[in-house]
Structure 1
Amino acid sequence: MCFFTILLGISCVLYMNYQVGPSEKKAWRDRSRPGLSRVQDVKEILLFENLESSFSSSQVSTEDPEKGFVIPNDGGDPDFYGVMFDAGSTGSRVHVFHFVAADGSPPTLLAELYNYTKVGLSKFAKKPEEGASSLKPLLDAALNFIPAEKWSSSPVALKATAGLRLLPEEEADALLEAVYQLFCDSPLHVEVKEKSITILEGNMEGIYIWFTLNFLLGVLGSSDKSTVGALDLGGGSTQITFVPNSPDTLREGEKLNYIDTFRFLHKTFKVYTHSYLGLGLKEARLQTMKLDHNIISKKLQPTTSKGNVFYSSCLPPNTTHSWEFNGLTYTALSVSTDIGAVYDECRSITKRYINDMNVHSPPEVYSMKFYAMSYFWTRGSEVHLIVCNNVQEKPFLCMDMVFISTLLTKGYGFEHDAVLEICPKIGKFEVSWALGATIDLLHTHWDHLAKET
């Protein structure tokens, strides 16, 4: 089990107690099918098998993809696949899920192929065809994973998150249209456009990841297990989703339009869910820097900063560091003179930014069990102990952790000693909204099939 304990003091110190599960199994099978290109510019392929099997180093190679393999499906018939593309602000990913369901029972997830690039689709805002082409290696990886006889019955969809939400509507629409044409030219099943290519609304992103989490935990449909809450932190937005038990939470949530429903099997769940655009890790870092810069610039005469260069209170004295986001490079110039004051100054400007975003604090978060995903995990797992004067290798890590802790405590309302579980996967599967979205996509596909018969 993985835990994230929030401890705040006079210096920037966050203790991260975590335990990483078994390393992901990397595998690849090359079927040498005509017309399929080998993956060259995709960063990594991860294959997760829901099978009680062990692998020796001689059986699975992480060096040569041709030596990898896929365990044959022995879960029964019928088995089926779903393909979900996640176009995020920091990169594009594909998830291919392999399920089996028999005798009317709920589907069981057998395996997942996960693959990604580090170039966000929004980077191609002015060149939509190039944006679609950037997804082709991911599409080829999906086709290599799915048996050819299953292609035509395996639906594919793309859902874009915060990166495309921030683009002008005409640019986002052009990108989505180009991707839709790419899918239509593939041998996979493609639903109508509005079901296949969409910008994922923030509340649905939260609901999907909540579903994924509770599906993998095996609590959905259980009469003796309670659901857990989900916290997600992406590059451009953050989401909170849970099933409220308190009438106060329901009442406040309904006033804010934060209450939604989600159906699974024969049960409908009423959930509290909201997405805060602008409070993703990368976007918040940028906007906090801009706010900090505007305040600092008024004190400095004359100012020498311009363009994408910002004064920052969140770096140690006499340091300058750059970072990239959405295809642009930003530079932060430290203005701190006292290393001991960095944490307080950074947290002060971070609190001001979060306060401006009007984050609602649900009344019952302190009494519920929550899992935190995405950047909550990746930042927390990078170090055990984070101090604001240690920036040689990860100059923005302290700033990011100050933001995370402030978001959790001053935003969502968690206590300073709250314990969050931050495992990146449940069992052998990654926790992401893509699984929930794929189940939703498959239901749409099955509904259409039922109408045709």
Structure 2
Amino acid sequence: MFASSRNTTYERLEGGMGPNRASKKLPWKKIAIGCSVLIGLVWFFGPRGAGLPTPGLEDIYPPQENIPTKTQPNTALDDERPPTSAPSVIPTSPETDPDPLKTVHCSAPHASHLPLVQYALMIDAGSTGSRIHIYKFNYCGPSPAYEYEVFKMTQPGLSDRTKTPEGAAESLDVLLDEAIRVVPASLHGCTPLAVKATAGLRFLGAGKSQAILEAVEKRLRGRYPFKLPDTDGVVIMDGKDEGVYAWITANYLMDVIRAGSPKDVPTYAVLDLGGGSTQIVFEPEKGEMVGGVLQEGEHKYELVFGGEERVLYQHSYLGYGLKSARESVHRVVEFMDGLRAAWMNGESGLRRVANPCLAQKTEKEVDVPLADGSKVKVLMAGEDVGSFEACNRVLELVMAKDAMCNVKPCSFNGVYQPSMMDAFPTGKILLLSYFYDRITPLIIPSSNGDQPHITVSMITTLARHVCAGPSSWVDHWGGYPAVIDELQDRPEWCLDLTFMHALLGLGYEFGDGREVALGKRIEGTELGWCLGATIAMVGGGEVRCRA
């Protein structure tokens, strides 16, 4: 069902480098010194948010939380499933499931050696929190067919530096207790469980992260009845797998890549933005690539899914997640401010730093990471310098668009990526995770109920309004107090939105008019890498229930 060409090595991830490149640290001091004049000009002579264009409300459309899918029930991963009459009510949760030990889709499994239902657990140990996905599958066909999930999360994540390894492991108890509640007791021992950590643990270094992983595995094996795989049960996941699994999840739920799905339906490009890293995965449109092939390298991911061979482009940019981007911007701004005369804030005693990536008239205390590993606390202030244009110029430095490109063309930071105009000119683009969380609260519902048409330029417009500060918020969202509430006490949303625009426009070079879709879940199921990874785990057949 699932095959790939992969080359996973932990050592290449733990040092803060992407999975597909040699180690490359951003030369902050060299960049900052070389561009000090530029930043100074930006701050003192650049735009100050005045004269912002004011689109009518009809120019901003609300994204759908549940992206439309086919109306037919979920099917197996192949087309050998015996025909059954469609159930009148399809369960979407344990509360609506008439019998968690059975399925409404059939009365017997496809073959005698298969279980009727199969549960599986996947814990996403991310940089900002840990999340459990409790999935139910059925074997009405020869491959597992997804039915529904239960989701729960806890914060902070395993990488929280205030925790000991044992404390980090204990933080997962609340998630596993939820699994004990949801999964029928008779199936506990044959329910596979995996813990896959992402960018947060990659940044800790080999020693600290390995100690946490060992403590987690010890606690899970000693305290809980679920089945950890013999290998890769508790691991740091390769960034490229994270992106590819997210691509599988989205296109599977959209009924694009299942066996039996309509042929010649273009797949979605999936762009996932986490706290520590961001991923892009897409299948080049047939006939659009020069020679019809990608350049060889680890960005090329060969996949067999639903009986069809596919070739994907993927890359995971470690250090370009939203949390990491904030730290990078603050570090550049703080260093630049240190080259000028600093003055002290009389009330807090902290050094006050004018930051163009904070909304005007807002401020926030920030711990800025320094090159030697220490941190300095400063008071970042948007004052009257915060603006989309000025922040975007800072992000041009952080994005390293002009970095050496060994294999052309490149997106940013010297990473090879075929031109989206050539390789993916018409395909649909799906934005996940922080893209969704930051943009959707600011979208004003259209008065006529039209389907959303969100473009890259609309993200620019939102960023301009947010960066212009509270007076602009009232001007443009005064009739929507929920939007104002979202922006209160969150001055870095200016930075967040500007960074997202920089990824799409400067980095991936999508045009201003390119439409994008924002996704959180489909039919109650969280989008992201977890379902794709679980399908691969369950489809391998290593652990199957015998109720």
**Bucket of the pairwise TM-score, normalised by the shorter protein:** 0.7 to 0.9
Tell me if the contact between 2:350 and 2:379 (Cα under 8 Å) persists in the aligned partners: no
AA matched with 2:442 = V
* Gap regions ≥5 residues in structure 1: 1-8, 24-49, 61-66
How far did 1:331 drift? 5.3
Q: Match for residue 32 of structure 1? A: none
CA distance in 1, matches of 2:255, 2:65: 18
AA matched with 2:418 = P
- The C-alpha deviation readout for 1:210-263, integer Å capped at 9, x for no partner, is 0000110111133242221111000110000011233349755425x3101222
How far did 1:120 drift? 0.8
CA distance in 1, matches of 2:379, 2:315: 31
Structure with the higher strand share, 1 or 2? 1
* Gap regions ≥5 residues in structure 2: 1-49, 68-85, 110-115, 370-374, 402-412, 444-461, 471-486
Q: Match for residue 74 of structure 1? A: 104
AA matched with 1:74 = V
SS in 1 for 2:302: strand
SS in 1 for 2:397: helix
AA matched with 1:358 = G
AA matched with 1:377 = Y
CA gap 1:75/1:377 in 2 versus in 1, 3 angstroms:
same
Tell me if the contact between 2:126 and 2:199 (Cα under 8 Å) persists in the aligned partners: yes
Q: Match for residue 137 of structure 1? A: 174
Q: How many residues end up aligned between the 2 structures? A: 399
How far did 1:427 drift? 2.5
Q: Match for residue 188 of structure 2? A: 151
How far did 1:316 drift? 4.2
**Matching residue within 466, 485, 491 for 1:395:** 491
- The C-alpha deviation readout for 1:372-401, integer Å capped at 9, x for no partner, is 100110111121245112356031112110
**Matching residue within 339, 345, 350 for 2:395:** 350
Q: TM-score, normalised by structure 2?
A: 0.66
CA gap 1:150/1:19 in 2 versus in 1, 3 angstroms:
same
Q: Match for residue 244 of structure 1? A: 284
How far did 1:279 drift? 0.8
Q: Match for residue 203 of structure 1? A: 240
Q: Match for residue 39 of structure 1? A: none
Please tell me whether residue 17 in structure 1 is matched to residue 61 in structure 2. Answer: yes
Q: What does 1:297-376 align with in structure 2 at a 5 Å threshold?
A: 297-301=338-342, 311-317=354-360, 319-322=362-365, 332-334=379-381, 336-338=383-385, 342-355=387-400, 357-363=413-419, 364-376=423-435
**Matching residue within 249, 252, 255 for 1:215:** 252
Q: Match for residue 173 of structure 1? A: 210
More displaced stretch, 85-94 vs 309-318: 309-318
More displaced stretch, 404-413 vs 420-429: 420-429
AA matched with 2:320 = L
**Matching residue within 81, 86, 99 for 2:137:** 99
Tell me if the contact between 2:144 and 2:539 (Cα under 8 Å) persists in the aligned partners: no
CA gap 1:54/1:260 in 2 versus in 1, 3 angstroms:
closer
Tell me if the contact between 2:66 and 2:519 (Cα under 8 Å) persists in the aligned partners: no
CA distance in 2, matches of 1:439, 1:165: 24
Q: TM-score, normalised by structure 1?
A: 0.79
SS in 1 for 2:312: strand
CA gap 1:69/1:129 in 2 versus in 1, 3 angstroms:
farther
AA matched with 1:299 = R
SS in 1 for 2:512: coil
AA matched with 2:282 = F
CA gap 1:54/1:99 in 2 versus in 1, 3 angstroms:
closer
CA gap 1:400/1:16 in 2 versus in 1, 3 angstroms:
farther
How far did 1:440 drift? 1.6
Q: Identity rate of aligned residues, in percent?
A: 29
SS in 1 for 2:159: helix
SS in 2 for 1:408: helix
Q: Which has the larger radius of gyration?
A: 2
- The C-alpha deviation readout for 1:102-161, integer Å capped at 9, x for no partner, is 242x43221101000121110157610110000011001011111111111110000000
CA gap 1:438/1:317 in 2 versus in 1, 3 angstroms:
closer
CA distance in 2, matches of 1:313, 1:358: 26
CA distance in 2, matches of 1:404, 1:82: 33
- The C-alpha deviation readout for 1:58-107, integer Å capped at 9, x for no partner, is xx9xxxxxx96654342334110110000000100000110112242x43
CA distance in 2, matches of 1:311, 1:432: 36
Q: Match for residue 274 of structure 1? A: 315
Q: Match for residue 231 of structure 1? A: 271
Q: Match for residue 425 of structure 1? A: 521
- The C-alpha deviation readout for 1:407-435, integer Å capped at 9, x for no partner, is 10100111111111112112331111000
CA gap 1:291/1:124 in 2 versus in 1, 3 angstroms:
closer
CA gap 1:91/1:306 in 2 versus in 1, 3 angstroms:
farther
